[in-house]
Each structure stands twice: as structure tokens, then as C-alpha cells.
Structure 1
């Protein structure tokens, strides 16, 4: 057996085995990849190379945006911004069937457009909307399902930490182009959830809210305007070339913190816990990126991506079938793997294949992240699923049946996004980002 084949087998066997015995995924990837590297190089050289790969994987200016956006999301979650966005969403969607549920979807989209975190949106918006919906007679499982199904839109609508990770791995793909490409797919996902929520609201007899007076609506918009302005400042600044995505993430922290102090929702004594929470979340993501760089080195040495490409192209050279197979693989992977490691692992495998038949890397990035976003609301791992159920104080079994129609509509939207490139590429092209 060739040395490269042996090392590839070691990695492919070691990582799943470590995961099955309960080792955290980042440690499993790091240990499995290092074991494979030891089979290729002398022990001392392997340790040095592995250390260098970890450092190289994390040594990226664009990755600095991740801790700042994470911190900004936590500040917004605690700083009264979520409540104002919820009030704004209630005005925007209050006349639709099941108005509070519709407001939940719009609020998740708005919160995601500011924080970039689906889990944060599910917690902040779900925690605010859940009691309101229960008070109005909405079923808890129905409300939780709507909240969970719409929360991942924030991972597509910019800013998005997952798209930043993809940009780093793909190499040479503009973060700004990816951000703009995520708007229409993210909005389409949200609209799909709103349609299903409206259909079930009519069946269950959940009424629309009374139309607010112009004065009341104006008051809500004025109150929410400083929060909404953050979207314009960050995304507008990035597009206008005023600052980079990383600098924009730092500005979002300063702005959201200042706003929270003005709202008097956060005090100076709260900051240590907020910084600690952000540091913990950042450490998990950045460490994952670092150890995945070892795996990328092993895959390059063993030519695993080329082998998989040959297998796929050997089955068919029809791009439609290849993309369908990729979607199925990514949907399955997303059910048990977080988006960040999945992006790190599958981008170098699938991206060279799709570029062979002319798929734009920006379009592929949106397709990839869309798939993995669905995984965040499906068992057994689904972080948004678990967060939404915990916020609603429900068991997963009570919610999962309600989620099935939303799984179907998001799968349909995924196929539309996959096979209609213009949904992802029109805005970046209009802005001359690609």
C-alpha cells in the first residue's frame, strides 16, 4: 500500500472513530489528521508541520472579523436591540395571518442581518416572541417551529461568519461579493417560512393583528432606526470601500456597545461576562479552523479531493446530477456536523469539481452554506434546533413534527438557489463585485 493511501485511510478511519467515542469534533479532526501526518513524516517533523499548519490556518486578517461579529451579536442579544427589532417586525408583518409568527420570521431576518448568528437570533427573538405568542393563544410547538425554521436566515443574510470562513478556505473569493450574494437566498428562505406559517395559522385560527396607527408605527420605526442603521453602516461601508469586512466587524462592536449603553440595557459590570462568552465562542471556531488546516494538508498530500472528483465525474458528467449528489451529501453531513468544520472540509473537495463545469465560486459558496444552514435545524446535532427548543421549554419530539413542512420548503428553495445562479450572482454583478 502506498504511503499516501495509508495516511489517507488513517485519517478517514481515526476521525469518525474518535467522534463515535465522544471526542469533540475539533479535537477529533486535529488528532486524526496528526496521526495521518505521523505516518508520512518523522515524528518530530510531523509535530512541527502540524503546529505550523495550525498557525497558518488561523493567521488570516479576514478571520479577525469572526470574534468581532460574535461579540457584537452577544452585545445585541443583551443590549435591548432585539426587542426593538421585534417591535419593528410586528409593524411590518402585523396584517398577515398569524401575525406574531410572521413577526418572528421578520425579526429573525433583521436580527441576523445585524448579528450574523442563527443561534443568537433563535435565542433573542424566540425569547421575546415566545411569551407573546403563548399569551395570544398560539401553540408552543407551532411558535417554536417558526422561530427555529427562520433563525438560520441570519447565516445567509450578511454579515455571516460562515461565509467569511468559506472565503478564507476558497481563496480569492471576495467577502463583499459573498455577503451580497446571500441576500436573495436568505430572504427567499424567510419568505418560504412565512408562507408555511401563514397556511398553518389560517388552519389553526390565528388572527392577524390590528393595524397600528400611523403615529404608533412611526414611533416604533424611530425607536428601531438606530439599530437598523447598523446594517447600513457596516454593509454600506464594506461595499463603498470605506473599510474591510474585518474593520466593519469592529465598528459593529463599538456601535452596538454604544447603543446598548444609551439604552441602559448593559452596564460596565456586565462587560467581563460578555467578553468571556465571546472569547469562548471565538476559541471554538478559530481552533476548529486551525486544526482543519492540518486535515487540508493531509488531503492535499493524499490527493483525496482528486480521488472524490474522479469518482463523481466517473458516475456522470452532467452538472445537474453532480450538484444534486453534492446537495444530498451536504444535507446528510449537516445533520451531524457544524457548518464551520463542514465548510473547512468540503470546500477543497467540491470546489475544484464545480469550477470544472463553470460554476462561480460565489454561487457555490451560497449553495454550500445554504445546505449547512439546514443542518442547524435538523437532529441529531442542530444547534439552532436545540436552542429554539430550550427557549420554548419543549422537547425536540414535540417540535420536530411541526418542522417537517419547513424542511420541505427550505429544500425546495435550496434547489432553486442551486440551479438558478442569478439568485446568488445578480446583486454582486450589479455592484461590480464579481
Structure 2
């Protein structure tokens, strides 16, 4: 191992991480092993491994992280409890009059369901799986239907409750989770609107029809049927913003609320609970290992002064915050195509946040920008998880879905830059509720 002492920890970390990823090593393993390799350039093997193990342990020693398994469980309960059908009925009331009504209903329902489950994959599965047979019956092109579902399922990662914001809060040094939750509403709605516009034009060009008008009693029944599900958002987010309970306590309340609601709907069987618990354990384990190893990597990056190096490069190009944000957006859009949202947050927050904060960018605003960027990554090839789920549901290939997906992706990217350069979209609501100065 002595030859490693002559190497730079910066280059060792970078080459080891990229090399392991190129060989298909899981990202959590690649992160931890790259951190050990970098530490071997400045200390003996035993202390290097001990330091990484210690950083993994301390990185997981956070009360806020308990919110992640609870929100996972609440979303899984809602996913299996007949929520999607009721939210689709509610969405018909608001967008059923538009051309390509079923596509617009998919977008609206994804926004509503995502706000409850906090999971893009759950939203794509539940809403897409329900809407696809209806769209097939009406003669919708499957590639178009899949593109709409894929592009809109990510809105729930911005509209709270969102596990992505909890992870960002942890790695950014304690940014207010309540402020991040509230800050995500307007950008999430803007993202949904950005998908609706090209979907509307494409539906009109293809001749997709509006739905038959609903009577007032039908509209009232549809909205009332969805209100108990939407009540989860009001109870949890209202309690967090109002200071009644913390985000972690709110996540536990979300589980209780979801169980009560599933019991009320009588669409969740006892055997489903075991599957929900197993799914929650699996998802939480993946996130926990990623968080722990990423904390070790963040420590090594700090030792190697990688954030300062990148910060100096950005400021050497320009010390203007708008130019810096443009460069960061381009970088994140590129890396988001092969990184999932959680590792993306864990790796790039400590790299970009210090520099942008020095240039006057609010940490809450950057959190929204970061999550928005990585949301677009998971609908992009080659590794977008939502892309694969949406294609599987509609039974189409990535090649087939790409042409209708491109206009929606472009519109979503334009919405990203609007959010980037209009900070009020992210910061107005947190200031209104007194969650930030």
C-alpha cells in the first residue's frame, strides 16, 4: 500500500469511484470503497478503514433520518389502499375538460398521489397502472401515455412530504425540513404545469378528445371521496409547519393516518402488511447504506479540499451567482442521467453548497434546485428509474417513448431554470409562514 502515499487523495477518490461505477459496483459500495482508497494515500490501512466505519456510523446517528422509513411505509400503505382511483376521480373534476383529458388527469393525479406518497416510482406505478387501460380503450398512443406518466410522476419529489428534502437537510448541515417542505410546493406545481402544456398541444394535434362533462353532484362526490386521502397532506404538513410536531413525528403520524384510512376503505388486507414492512425495510436499508457511505466520502472530500477546488474553478469562470447556478444546473443535469436522486444529493450538496452560499444563494433555494435537477435525471436514459417503470407499465421501449418525452423534458428543463432564476418561487411561502427570515 506504500505506493498510494505518493498519490493525490483527490485523484484517488475520483478515479476509484468512477472506476468502480464503470465496473457495475453498486453506488453505495463504490462510495465507501473509494473513500477508503483515498484515505490510504494519507494514512495506514487500519486507521483508514476505522475512520470510514466511524463516519458511516455517525452519519446514520440522526433523529431526522427516522422520518424516511415512516414516510416510505405511509406511501406504501397508500399505494395499496385504493388511493389512486379516488385521486384520479378528483383529478377528472379539474382537468377533464381539456383535450387529451386522460393524459391531463394522469398528470394531476400524479401530483396529488406524489404529494401523499412522496415517491416517483409509487406514483408512476399506481397512477400509470390505473390510467393505462383507460387510455388504451380511448385509442391513446402508448408511447405518449408513458411519456406523460414518466414526466409527471416526479412532481411528488418536490411536493411534500419528500424524503429527498430530509436527506438534503441532513447533509446540508440542518437546513429546516419544514421550510424545505413548504418551499417545494410552487416549484412542484410549476413542474406539473410544464408537463401539461406540451401534453395539451400533442393531444390536440393527435385528436384526443375531452371527457364528457360531469354533473355537479358527480363532481362533489369525486372531490369528497378524495378528501380523506388529501387530508394526510393537511395533517402532516400543517402540523410540521405549525410547529405541532417535527418532521420525524409527522412521518409516524402519517403511518397511523394511512392505516386508519386503509381500514376505512377496506382495500388493504392483513397479508399486505407484511409485504409493506418488508418493502419499507428494503428501501430504508438501501438509503441508510447510501447515507452512511456518502458521509464518509464527504469527510474525505473535505480533507482533500475538493469543495474548495471546485468552488475556485466556478468563481474563476465567474463570481456572478447566476452564472454559477447555470454551470451547476448543467453539471447536475448531466450527472443526473446516471445517478439516482439520493446519492446525487449526498454527493453534490457538500461540493456545490459552500460555493453557492458564499455567492449569496440561500440553502433552501439550492435544495429545491438540486432536487429539481435530480428529478429530471430519473426520467432520463440510461439509468432513470421512473423511465423504466413508466415504459414497463405501458409496455413500450425507451426508443418508442423518447420522441414524445423530449418536448415534456424540454418544458420541464425550462421550468427548472425559471425556479433557478426566480428565487421567490422557492422562498416566498417559507417566508410567508415565518420559517425563514
Which band: TM-score by shorter chain? Answer: over 0.9
- Tell me which residue corresponds to 1:181: 183
Cα distance, 1:201 vs. partner? Answer: 0.9
Question: Residue 11 in 1 paired to residue 19 in 2?
Answer: no
**CA distance 1:19–1:340, change in 2 (3 Å):** same
Question: Residue 114 in 1 paired to residue 116 in 2?
Answer: yes
Q: How does 1:216-295 map to 2 (within 5 A)?
A: 216-295=218-297
Match of 2:192 among 168, 187, 190: 190
Mapped partners of 2:114, 2:75: distance in 1: 9
Mapped partners of 1:111, 1:401: distance in 2: 26
Cα distance, 1:5 vs. partner? Answer: 6.2
Contact 1:111 1:121 in 2 (8 A): yes
Cα distance, 1:222 vs. partner? Answer: 1.7
For normalisation by structure 2, the TM-score amounts to 0.97
* Greater shift in the superposed pair: 342-351 or 265-274: 265-274
Cα distance, 1:4 vs. partner? Answer: 9.5
Mapped partners of 1:279, 1:295: distance in 2: 24
Q: Deviations over 1:109-139 (max 9, x none)?
A: 0011111111110111000011111111111
- Tell me which residue corresponds to 1:337: 339
Mapped partners of 2:7, 2:237: distance in 1: 45
- Tell me which residue corresponds to 1:101: 103
Contact 1:289 1:344 in 2 (8 A): yes
- Partner-residue secondary structure (3-state), 2:8: helix
- Tell me which residue corresponds to 2:156: 154
- Tell me which residue corresponds to 1:366: 368
Cα distance, 1:325 vs. partner? Answer: 0.7
Mapped partners of 1:384, 1:269: distance in 2: 27
**CA distance 1:323–1:272, change in 2 (3 Å):** same
Unaligned runs of 5+ in 2: none
- Partner-residue secondary structure (3-state), 1:305: helix
Cα distance, 1:220 vs. partner? Answer: 1.3
Question: Residue 320 in 1 paired to residue 319 in 2?
Answer: no
- Tell me which residue corresponds to 2:216: 214
Contact 1:113 1:158 in 2 (8 A): yes
For normalisation by structure 1, the TM-score amounts to 0.98
Q: How many residues align?
A: 434
* Greater shift in the superposed pair: 412-421 or 34-43: 34-43
- Partner-residue secondary structure (3-state), 1:337: coil
Contact 2:21 2:30 in 1 (8 A): yes
- Tell me which residue corresponds to 2:392: 390
Mapped partners of 1:264, 1:329: distance in 2: 47
Cα distance, 1:38 vs. partner? Answer: 2.6
Unaligned runs of 5+ in 1: none
- Tell me which residue corresponds to 1:415: 417
